[in-house]
Amino acid sequence: MGNKLIVGNWKMNGSLADNATLLAGVLNGLPAAGAARVAVCVPAVYLHQMQSLLKDTPVAWGAQDVSAHERGAFTGEVSATMLRDLACRYVIVGHSERRQYHGESDELVATKAQRALACGVTPIVCVGETLAQREAGDTEMVVKRQLASVIHTVGHCTSELVVAYEPVWAIGTGKTATPEMAQAVHAVLRAQIAAATPNASRVAILYGGSMNAGNAAELLAQPDIDGGLIGGASLKAPDFLSIVDAAGVAH
């Protein structure tokens, strides 16, 4: 895996004014020779703003969800073609908040990933276990099942995915998986990807869940952690930049 990939997930936060301030802070503070790749995934209504503020900068942008359908009578949905139209590089699919609050199944997540790939937008496929599943010893089984569904659907395009391991109990809670815990799951995912494609080394596996300025360096130092998906800490330029810095020095 080459450079680390650091992706901000703004979730349902922001305003035109706040976004402009945040991005100015991030762009001003980016290290000159970017050792890490950087992107932000923003609410769909702000993608157009990203296109105008981030075009020709080192920061890529993406959405947080995409419709499983191509076009037509799906009120409220945003298609992968539309994301492509706004020059999105990435789209998050299967975030645990969507699985939990919007009832998204493994099959739906897989179809969304497939739609994104068909339009040239890289899906960031989120997998992760709940606390109850971890305590029951089911972590491996759960994340493998979630990823297997996507691999089964996208087939030879598996090498075009980004995968994010986000233990549900670590999201927004301040509880982070220890580097060893995260690495163990990442190694499982890496092996699963390697069994599915000869180009497994192209797939970045990100860790997400309360990654912050204080813990990023040791997480990113793990051999199978290729970057981070950052929620809360992506909303403050200095915090986000510290993680980008940590990614630049980790190897």
User: Which residues are designated catalytic?
Assistant: 95, 166
If binding is defined by CB under 6 A, does position 114 make contact with ligand PGA? no
Closest CA relative to residue 3, chosen from 156, 195, 213, 226:
226
d(CA 141, CA 125): 16
If binding is defined by CB under 6 A, does position 8 make contact with ligand PGA? no
Q: How far is CA 179 from the centre of its chain?
A: 18
Binding pattern for the stretch 49-88 against ligand PGA, x by CB under 6 A and - elsewhere: ----------------------------------------
Which residue is at the shortest CB distance from ligand PGA? 231
| Measured torsion, CA atoms of residues 228, 184, 109, 105, in degrees rounded to the nearest 10 | -130
Residues 6+ apart with CB under 8 A from 248: 4, 31, 34, 35, 36
If binding is defined by CB under 6 A, does position 229 make contact with ligand PGA? yes
Provide, rounded to whole angstroms, the least separation between the CB of residue 11 and ligand PGA: 7
Binder to ligand PGA among 208, 241, 245, 248 (CB under 6 A)? 208
d(CA 129, CA 127): 7
Please give the helix or strand (H or E) that residue 114 lies within, else none: helix 106-118
> Closer CB to ligand PGA, residue 149 or residue 210?
210
If binding is defined by CB under 6 A, does position 171 make contact with ligand PGA? yes
If binding is defined by CB under 6 A, does position 158 make contact with ligand PGA? no
Helix residue spans in 119-236 (DSSP H): 131-135, 139-154, 179-196, 216-220
If binding is defined by CB under 6 A, does position 210 make contact with ligand PGA? yes
Binding residues for ligand PGA, rule: CB under 6 A, are 9, 166, 171-172, 208-211, 229-233
